[in-house]
Amino acid sequence: MRIFGSPVYHSVVLLSRRSKAAIVVALLVIAGAFALPYLDALSFIIRAADLPGAPATVAGWRATAVAREEVFTVATRAGDVPARFYRPASGVRRTILLMPGVHRDGINESRLVGLAEDLAATGFGVLTIAAPDLQKFKITPQVTDVIEDVVLWASSQLQYAPDGKVGLLGISFSGGLSVVAAGRDSIRERIAFVLSFGGHGDLARVMHYLCSGDVLGDLDRAKQSSAVVGADQVGVHPPHDYGVAVVLLSLADRVVPADQVAALSRGIDGFLLASSLAMTDQAGALKVFDEMKAYAQTLPEPSRRLMTYVNDRAVDKLGPILLPIADGLKDHPSMPALSAERAPPPLAPVLLLHGVDDNVIPSMETVLLAEHLKGKAQVTGLLSGLITHAEVNRTPSLTEVWRLMRFWRGIM
């Protein structure tokens, strides 16, 4: 059975372009007064947010040149997977294995490349790896196996891990799967820290949310969580239409006759490809979207109706069809390999970072995972209004920027 993913590369640091320079300058003064790690953290945030002018100039003072090395491959149980290393000119303080979310472009996705360069400019060596299934819009146990295999390999390479340990940073669904992998016996002592960036704690809960819009768990209790800074901001938002489309992709064999599965899957895959293209090539994306609308008319029923719902982004029509099927998978044997709350906890510190308004993987997932790990692992969590999976034009408060800086300081 295929488990789903999302074409949306979400939970990327994105400060509003209307951020006030005064906030940044004030925080630079605070950072300098306390310690260089704070300054490094804030400089990283400024670069990741692509803030112009004086903030960028000041952030550049702490940045080092970065060499983007040639792509090579790493052997895993899923076959050879492409990898790229970003080497800081100042020397490697720690290598971070950076796993992208669900995206067709894998390690070449433009925002992943930018994030890798920003991290490397701070002095980290960054090794990017993309699991093959994630590039096919699927979340499967194989993805967790790939993460495990790459950590085992990288931590054995003297050039990447002189002390035998690497950091692990997973974006989106890779975040939750990175926490799962970090608890596995073969690598749990080889990980310096694991960071889930907009990730999940329980995949079945996310499936339920994407199909229904309902966030499972006690919202009022979550707001009182002591394990996550900013937990009082957690809320419920309508799910992203892409999410329910990928649920349909994973459940196609359960909702249409067997002889229609391949054709419907091709159509959904085309829609998700167009969604990926929309990040960098609007004209190309619109062309593929139009092609998928025409393609839907060639399908027999019920595939035609379902593909039309996908093209129309009709969450309210697709969700109720898929919800009972998705809920029936909550006890599927694959779930422990896909859900951090069902797997052994890591030995390494766990850092959980999430956008408050995330509507692909709701921020409630980070709160619930942090509460689950409390007492089992060293866990630090933050919900931030400065992080989003889609652009949110919001002027940040000094408190929000300070919280995010403190979080990244823990890694720096």
Structure confidence by residue, pLDDT tens digits, 185-209:
999 999 999 999 999 999 999 999 9
Is residue 63 pLDDT above 90, yes or no? no
More confident residue, 220 or 303: 303
CA-CA distance, 23 to 340, in Å (whole number)?
A: 36
Q: What one-letter code names the amino acid at 305?
A: R
Q: What number of other Cβ atoms are within 10 A of residue 277's Cβ?
A: 20
Question: Do 352 and 209 belong together in one domain?
Answer: yes
CATH number at residue 17: 3.40.50.1820
Q: Mean pLDDT over residues 327-352, rounded?
A: 94
The pLDDT, as a whole number, for residue 408 is 75
Helix (H, G, I), strand (E, B) or coil at 10: coil
pLDDT at 28: 54
Tokens read off for 213: 């819009």
Please give the pLDDT value at position 214: 92
pLDDT band at 399 (very low <50, low <70, confident <90, very high): confident
Do 348 and 403 share a structural domain?
yes
Q: Are residues 320 and 363 in the same domain?
A: no
CB of 21 within 8 A of CB of 59? Answer: no
In terms of domains, do 279 and 146 share one?
A: no
C-alpha 49/C-alpha 408 separation (Å) is 14
Does residue 23 share a domain with residue 117? yes
Backbone φ and ψ of 359, nearest 5°: -120, 25
Out of 5-14, 20-29, 70-79, 179-188, least confident range: 5-14
The CA–CA distances, whole Å, from 281 to 10, 117, 277 equal 18, 22, 5
- Same domain assignment for residues 202 and 256: no
What mean pLDDT comes out for the span 144-173? 96
pLDDT digits (tens, 9 = 90+) for 259-271: 999 999 999 999 9
In a domain, 363, yes or no: yes
228 occurs within a structural domain: no
Residues 156 and 122 placed together within one structural domain of the fold: yes
DSSP, collapsed to helix, strand or coil, labels residue 68 as: strand
Q: Taking Cα atoms as reference points, which of 194, 261, 216 lies closest to residue 364? A: 216
Asked whether residue 4 is assigned to any structural domain, the reply reads: no
Domain termination residue (choose one: 264, 292, 327): 327
Distance CA 362, CA 237 (A): 8
Query: Is 157 part of any domain?
Result: yes
Residue 308, domain member (yes or no): yes
Residue 388 in this model has a pLDDT that exceeds 70:
no
Q: Between 33 and 240, whose confidence is greater?
A: 240
- Number of structural domains (the chain) is 2
Measured over the CA atoms of residue 392, residue 393, residue 399 and residue 403, the dihedral's sign is: positive
pLDDT in tens, 69-102: 999 999 999 999 999 999 999 888 899 999 998 8
Is residue 307 domain-shared with residue 171, that is, in the same domain?
no
Does 385 reside within a domain? yes
Cα 279–Cα 281–Cα 284 angle in degrees, nearest 5: 125
> By percentage, how much of the chain surpasses pLDDT 90?
61
Q: How high is the pLDDT of residue 377?
A: 95
Q: What is the mean pLDDT of residues 104-125?
A: 89
Mean predicted confidence (pLDDT) in 238-263: 93
Cα diameter, the chain:
67
Choice between 56 and 144, residue whose per-residue pLDDT is larger? 144
Do residues 294 and 362 share a domain?
no
97 and 135 fall within a common domain = yes
| Higher-pLDDT residue of 221, 19 | 221
- Decide which of 298, 327, 356 is a domain's last residue: 327
Stronger pLDDT, 409 or 9, i.e. the higher one: 409
pTM: 0.86
- Residue 313 belongs to what domain range? 241-327
* Mean pLDDT on 219-240: 90
**Residue 290: pLDDT over 90:** yes
Residue 2 lies in a domain: no
Q: What DSSP character marks residue 392?
A: -
Least confident of 296-310, 322-336, 351-365, 393-407: 393-407
Statement to judge: residues 177 and 204 lie in one domain = yes
**116-130, 299-313, 350-364, 376-390: segment of lowest average pLDDT:** 376-390
Share of the chain above pLDDT 70, in %: 82
- The answer as to whether 252 is a domain residue is yes
Give the residue from 283, 309, 327 where a domain finishes. 327
> Same domain, yes or no, for 29 and 92?
yes
